[in-house]
Chains A and B, each alone.
Chain A
Amino acid sequence: MFNWLQYFADWLIYTVFGLTHGTKLGDAVNFFVFDTIKIFILLGVVTFLMGIVNSYFPIDKVRNFLTKRNWYGFDYFLASFFGTITPFCSCSSVPLFIGFVKGGIPLGVTLAFLISSPLVDAVSVAMFIGMFGWKVTIVYVLSGIILSMIAGYILGKLKLEPLLTDWVKQILLNKQIEDNSYQEEKQTLFQRLPGIAKEALGIMKGVSLYILIGIAIGGLMHGFIPTGFFEAYISKENPLAVPIAVIVGVPMYSNAAGVLPVLQVLVQKGIPIGTAIAFSMAVVGLSIPEGLLLKKIMTTKMLLIFFGVVAACIIISGYLFNLIL
């Protein structure tokens, strides 16, 4: 699909810039140019397509959908699925949480949404396609949804409501079925497109710096670290590699845009792909800044349980990835 782009990068670097093919510098620059253009094309396409879906299923509609009737457990899937198509700014997590539980959506279902939303989004999908190809992307998206469902279900079964902070409990006590009349936009797809395109451009602009830095670091590592370098240290046989990768990744705060270009190179140099995906899930899905935001609604104990359950699910999926990929 991107052969033409590789020709272009080769031509630009080796012919126009006159760098020699096969040198470390030439390889690193070629990698940078090729990956940057490829990622921005993919990112544009994926954010735009997801923007279209999202414009028909905005968050208010999702909430109404989930509150309207009893889904008998199917709501875990719906919440996780809708989480993937809803663009997410981590500072929205608290209002979102309150809005969901206030509307009568079970705690576990709400948490499933909160887990899946940052884990699988347009940016991570575009980055995965660009860095690891379609097969790995599909496995990532599916496991992101399944993982959110399972973690949400476990957290729901743990009956954590008493561990919410007091003001949230107050809200839950006084919850009433509000007038959730959601006004559907009556615009045609064609009328929506300018807004969707603007939104997609905004998302791209927001992550572009991360992408450039991520790919620049990746490019350097690509050119200068010998292939198979990490195999000696982190192999599939080492049972501790996945948990360590996840524990290191949880406190880190970045998005898929910054992490995946580096991970792609690490995988090329010998790190097992499952371990790498588990690491990126931990970085993207959980972080200290997110924890600080959630402290507003969760007591420390609940926060630790939340992080623990999600991290455990990521570790398990890391092992599974290593088995099947």
Chain B
Amino acid sequence: MHEEKKYRDMKKNIKVLGPGCTKCKTTYNNVLEAIKQLGIEADVTKIEDIEEMMKYNVLTTPVLMIDDVIKVKGRVADISEIKTLLTA
């Protein structure tokens, strides 16, 4: 029981915000690849609906959020960068 809670706390919550242009798709794929390479588990959500996106007060897309903190906005984050952000 205790173990499970700890595990859940460590699980990263990743959101990729973007209306589905190439840049946003690249970011999303980079996130998946980074997670695979790190061998960690994470909740990855892709937010494509603009009304939903505006709740996060973003100006430029794509946006990469880790545990509800905006880490990268307005550009594609590459795999090594995402790995660094996830392990930090």
- Mark A residues whose CB is within 8 Å of B: 58-60, 63, 87, 89-92, 94-96, 98-100, 102, 167, 171, 178, 199, 202, 293, 296
Bound-complex Cα distance A202 to B74 (A): 12
Closest chain A residue to B59 by CB distance? A99
Q: Please give me the residue from chain B that is nearest to A99 by CB atom.
A: B59
**B48 CB, nearest partner CB in chain A, Å:** 10
Chain B residue contacts of A60, Cβ below 8 A: 59
Q: Is the beta-carbon distance between B19 and A91 smaller than 8 angstroms?
A: yes
Q: Knowing A199-B75, A296-B50 touch, does A95 contact B21 (C-beta < 8 A)?
A: no
B contact residues around A99 at 8 Å (CB): 54, 57-59
- Can you name 20 A-B residue pairings with CB atoms under 8 Å? A58-B74, A59-B59, A59-B60, A59-B74, A60-B59, A87-B74, A89-B60, A90-B21, A91-B18, A91-B61, A94-B19, A94-B50, A95-B53, A95-B54, A95-B61, A96-B59, A96-B60, A99-B59, A178-B57, A202-B75
Give 4 closest A-B pairs by Cβ, nearest first: A91-B21, A99-B59, A92-B60, A91-B19
Across the interface, name the chain B residue whose C-beta is closest to A58. B74
* Residue among A58, A63, A92, A199 making CB contact with B61, cutoff 8 Å: A92
Residues of B near any A CB (own CB < 8 A)? 18-21, 23-24, 50-51, 53-54, 57-61, 74-76
DSSP class of A's interface residues: helix, strand, loop or mixed? Answer: helix
- Minimum CB–CB distance from B79 to chain A (whole Å) comes to 13
Q: Are A98 and B54 in contact (CB under 8 A)?
A: yes
Inter-chain contact A91/B24, CB cutoff 8 Å: yes
Q: Which residues of A are found within 8 Å of B60, using beta-carbon distances?
A: 59, 89, 92, 95-96
